[in-house]
Structure 1
């Protein structure tokens, strides 16, 4: 919830503009002239208008202190801005937002000191009253809750009531609980849909027993008359709301439950889809189960596809084997591993356990090009060193996914004889190939030739190639790697400089009593002196301190 640098600049501008207006009430500072005071008020209003124009509700905690100003016009302007911005606060963000409001900061001092007697005498917009439900004073929170209960719209006030149902002051909690109970009627059903995530979070709180609220909200939404609202909850983009709706609908009669299971499998939340997939797998009598299982096999979330595979294990031998063979060519390694495991299981012995390596090689020779990456990965997982040469040719494939899979497979089957080949691939212009080559080289440790990596680092390769080479070089012992960290820090590349500087900062605790050798000290000093532009003095000091060399 951090504010952007642009917003921080606006808030600093507002604080500066307000300073003369605040000083009018300070005894220990000279009072501003009337002209200065009026200019301060006008500049402050302009700054607040700019903040409102951003529509960034995250700035509200930094504006609340304006509500305590002696100038009624400024208070009114601040309240209007806060009211407008508060309209866009997502319900799911309210718990974190409240934490920001309650943070103790210098600006929040005057807001925190507001007293209930003064607050209730003022005229505030409704959403500003909602902000007062988060005030540090229990008296202010209670007064704000009572005001919202008497005047507020259910959709607006319900989220703030739910926050206070778990308040740490018993009297405030009681007022919030009473207000929530008045909104549990059928007419307010729609107001409960966006706040179901908050209801779900209350289950985990322990200041009071909130089971009554969970039960009441569930009963309200599961009424036959509430099907449109329940459907809206199931389709919600708020993940907590969608998850609550799925759990609630699993208690419905079979016909209704099947509809919501099908809907959950189309959810954008992978957790909801996974729970729905588990429900389909466990529910043998699920209507239209075959279609749902077929959809699960193509889901983008691997655990959902795996549930479809597990469901097939209880099917006929022919169907089970077909599903397992299809899973051998899944894009995810876990699916391929599960398929190989079950194909080798005793239950498959009667049909003859297939030679899975030959299966993958056959797909590479005669199968669809779209399955080539998965087949290459499969050979890399269950093939032999002799297969490495045949897989290496796929690095030149036009599809980067196939090329990256080939790099990964060859590095897995024959790592010891492919070091130079992998170093050469660091210069490839395809990011995925460079990434896989870098990962493979990182696992080889000191077997990778340092000078070859430095040639990539200092050459004209792409930015990612140089970063990958540097990352491998910096995995060596800090006293050896500091040379390359120095070179990177002075390279002129922002990404390399950042990586080199971060390494030096992290390497400080690695210092050991025996220290670097004379050769390591000399290499580090030579690297510093060989830079075209001098390092920042503080960084140079840290490097010399790391290698145990006095300042020169």
Structure 2
């Protein structure tokens, strides 16, 4: 089947004629075990034997977008691939063409991972002599090679290729350079590419700054800040629309600093309206430094704690009373969430009563915020918050449970078992989170019940915990017990027989057999 192969970095390769499932093989090699990596190598060798240059380029284009898969292929090649009876024949067939014009780009890629340093050096020389952008990740791996001759040739080749065709080679190399940066001898590639980036034309910088890969965008953005590439309009675009919080924050900081120096109040006001709190806090700080505290004070009720803190500081300088504002705001029929949080931050235990009234508010977000506010004031009313474990809102149930556990509030066991059997998944999870902190028998019973849950996510969690507990109990019988080992008596295990039977299908035969076998050994 013919289709166009987009890489993860937006590049589009030549028309594909690849075996079906090639993209899935790349993903599996990136995320799973060595067998999947070996399978990817075999598929690559199959494509190479087909002598279809377009298919080979398309395959490598996909790999350029997954540097981790390339790195795992390289690592696996030395550990297993070149010694594997399964993979060796196909790979050897490709290698037989190494010194001839018949070898294609995939053959050179595989040769660059060979266990023999002389083969790797030959592959590097051929990659440099007839450069293909899709082979850059393989070349970068060889810049960290443990054989100096291979390493030196790859490093010289990298400098040469970047100088000859920066627009093609730099985007293909960046992902791998960032991946290997922390490795032994891996810093060379990043240093070389960063230096090349500083000489890149504007169009290439802008293309790289829009990469879907966060680490690449960070490198380009940080280099641009250091080199003063970005005009204030570009900084505003980063601050308002980039998907990465670190880039947004740094761009907003740089834009606001320049706006304060140049008295561009409109720029600060624009960023203060941002949907991102890290941008708003930079803008409001800039407005305060520029002497516009009156424009910062209205943000007292912001949902961000940092923004509220900046606004309170502005109110203090203006001689206002932020605490009085919060007390008035919380008394409103529908107070702002930030006002409730602000009162908890600045108030005292005497303000707990007004926040406690919100536990019965029709708005679920306010109920959840009230619970958090009472926690901050160290005034959690145990009974009322326990009642919220059956709240109609899943978020309120989650927050109430987290606060009760943090305060070590004793919740009635009967209620917890009721919750574990409730029809709502969020209530079952809430009950389970408390029960898994109980005795060994309680933990095991709860995990077995959850393992048979109709919700696959909850069942998976229960199955994992039950398997772990079964293993721990079994190990306790066989070896010296550790301080964390669970204690489950024979009687307790016998009482769990029915629960074990209900969960058997989910647990699997091995875990079920372990649990049943323990009944007579304790």
TM-score by length of structure 2 reads: 0.75
**Greater relative contact order structure (CA < 8 Å, 6+ sep):** 2
In the alignment, what sits opposite 1:485? 447
* 1:323-350 alpha-carbon deviations (Å, 9 max, x no partner): 2x3443232334435655x469xxx46x
Alpha carbons of structure 1 residues 283 and 137: separation in structure 2 relative to 1, 3 Å? farther
The counterpart of 2:142, out of the listed 141, 150, 164, is 164
* SS of structure 2 residue aligned to 1:175: helix
Cα contact 1:102–1:136 (8 A) shared by 2: no
Aligned-pair CA distance for 1:184: 3.7
* 1:89-113 alpha-carbon deviations (Å, 9 max, x no partner): 244x325522234213444455676
* 1:499-531 alpha-carbon deviations (Å, 9 max, x no partner): 44433444565976999999x764553343467
Aligned-pair CA distance for 1:426: 2.3
The counterpart of 1:49, out of the listed 15, 19, 27, is 19
The counterpart of 1:274, out of the listed 249, 256, 259, is 249
- In 2, the alpha carbon distance for the partners of 1:120 and 1:284 equals 61
- In 1, the alpha carbon distance for the partners of 2:287 and 2:49 equals 66
Equivalent runs, 1:397-436 vs 2, <5 Å: 399-413=363-377, 417-419=381-383, 421-436=384-399
- In 1, the alpha carbon distance for the partners of 2:91 and 2:327 equals 71
Note if 1:441 corresponds to 2:414: no
Aligned-pair CA distance for 1:542: 5.0
* 1:212-257 alpha-carbon deviations (Å, 9 max, x no partner): 7246404421xxxx2222222223322233222222323446x854
In the alignment, what sits opposite 1:175? 153
Alpha carbons of structure 1 residues 158 and 201: separation in structure 2 relative to 1, 3 Å? same
Aligned-pair CA distance for 1:472: 0.9
Cα contact 2:238–2:251 (8 A) shared by 1: yes
Cα contact 1:133–1:160 (8 A) shared by 2: yes
Equivalent runs, 1:287-298 vs 2, <5 Å: 289-298=264-273
In the alignment, what sits opposite 1:97? 70
Cα contact 2:394–2:426 (8 A) shared by 1: yes
Aligned-pair CA distance for 1:295: 4.3
- In 1, the alpha carbon distance for the partners of 2:182 and 2:435 equals 47
Cα contact 1:112–1:135 (8 A) shared by 2: no
Cα contact 2:252–2:282 (8 A) shared by 1: yes
In the alignment, what sits opposite 1:469? 431
Equivalent runs, 1:361-372 vs 2, <5 Å: 361-366=327-332, 372=336
- In 1, the alpha carbon distance for the partners of 2:39 and 2:500 equals 45
Equivalent runs, 1:449-528 vs 2, <5 Å: 449-460=412-423, 462-489=424-451, 494-507=456-469, 522-523=491-492, 525-528=494-497
Cα contact 1:482–1:524 (8 A) shared by 2: no
Note if 1:305 corresponds to 2:280: yes
Alpha carbons of structure 1 residues 529 and 242: separation in structure 2 relative to 1, 3 Å? closer
The structure with more radius of gyration: 1
- In 2, the alpha carbon distance for the partners of 1:531 and 1:190 equals 60
* SS of structure 1 residue aligned to 2:62: coil
Cα contact 1:274–1:303 (8 A) shared by 2: yes
Q: CA RMSD in A?
A: 4.2
Cα contact 1:377–1:405 (8 A) shared by 2: yes
In the alignment, what sits opposite 1:13? none
The counterpart of 1:243, out of the listed 201, 218, 225, is 218
- In 1, the alpha carbon distance for the partners of 2:253 and 2:275 equals 16
- In 1, the alpha carbon distance for the partners of 2:421 and 2:237 equals 54
Aligned-pair CA distance for 1:442: 1.6
Cα contact 2:170–2:193 (8 A) shared by 1: no
Note if 1:550 corresponds to 2:520: yes
* SS of structure 2 residue aligned to 1:102: helix
Aligned-pair CA distance for 1:450: 1.1
Cα contact 1:360–1:378 (8 A) shared by 2: yes
TM-score by length of structure 1 reads: 0.71
In the alignment, what sits opposite 1:533? 502
Alpha carbons of structure 1 residues 293 and 62: separation in structure 2 relative to 1, 3 Å? farther
Cα contact 2:450–2:461 (8 A) shared by 1: yes
Aligned-pair CA distance for 1:136: 3.2
Alpha carbons of structure 1 residues 496 and 283: separation in structure 2 relative to 1, 3 Å? closer
The counterpart of 1:234, out of the listed 209, 217, 224, is 209
Alpha carbons of structure 1 residues 459 and 132: separation in structure 2 relative to 1, 3 Å? same
- In 1, the alpha carbon distance for the partners of 2:374 and 2:186 equals 59
* SS of structure 2 residue aligned to 1:166: coil
In the alignment, what sits opposite 1:359? 325
Alpha carbons of structure 1 residues 539 and 229: separation in structure 2 relative to 1, 3 Å? closer
